[in-house]
Amino acid sequence: MFAIAVENESLVWQETEAPQGIASDEVRIEVAWAGVNRADLMQRAGQYPPPEGASQILGLEVSGTIREVGRHVERFKVGDPVCALLSGGGYAEEVVVNALQVLPVPEGYSLRDAAALPEMFATAWLNLFIEGNLKHKERVLLHAGASGIGTTAIQLCGLFGHPCFVTVGSQEKLETCLRLGADAGWNRHDGSFVEAVNDWGGA
């Protein structure tokens, strides 16, 4: 297969060894699209080594088509369009990954769009509902609301009934967040958000 390798200051599309075999709980995906994340940029710069045992190829999320399934995998079959969260290896023609890290492509999404879903939604969910232990109808303050994680968190808050207040860096970004479902917000260039969020929280 071919994959993107880092050589000095360049990304080079070159032939490399394909992942060999799959475990009973894994699937092989023919990659259509790969997401680009900050961790990829840091790894390229030598500041974010991959986890022990992970592929040295960049790429933490992909979309594509299932080409092989392990014998214990029941959720997917060959030919299914999917997206997946990886520990590495996404900038390649194919990847092998545990089926628990794979999701069906949501209805109405293209493979191109789906490649950007796993990292954002996993991160937003982890921080809001697992680390943050968000309770029913609790309010949420989101900084950098117009970022990838911020816009994802806004949508999750709306879906699960959590009012949210965002801080952003421009009026245009604030309007975008409000369209996505944020209840209120503040442009940080207008000064401290504290009074505004306190007024909103007490409403």
Assess contact for 153 and 164: CB atoms under 8 A: yes
pLDDT in tens, 160-188: 999 999 999 999 999 999 999 999 999 99
Q: Which CATH architecture best describes the domain 2-115?
A: Alpha-Beta Complex (3.90)
Tokens for 133, please give them: 């232990």
The residues with which 28 forms a beta bridge, in sequence order, are 68, 96
Q: What is the mean pLDDT of residues 13-21?
A: 93
- What is the reported pTM? 0.85
Question: 80 Cβ partners below 8 Å, 6+ apart?
Answer: 65, 66, 104
Give the integer Cα–Cα distance in Å for 42 and 62.
18
The domain defined by 120-201 folds into Rossmann fold (3.40.50)
Domain borders along the chain are: 2-115, 120-201
Confidence of residue 29 (pLDDT cuts 50, 70, 90): very high
Please give the pLDDT value at position 44.
Answer: 86
Average pLDDT, the chain: 94
At residue 38 the predicted structure's pLDDT band, cuts being 50, 70 and 90, is: confident
pLDDT of 161: 96
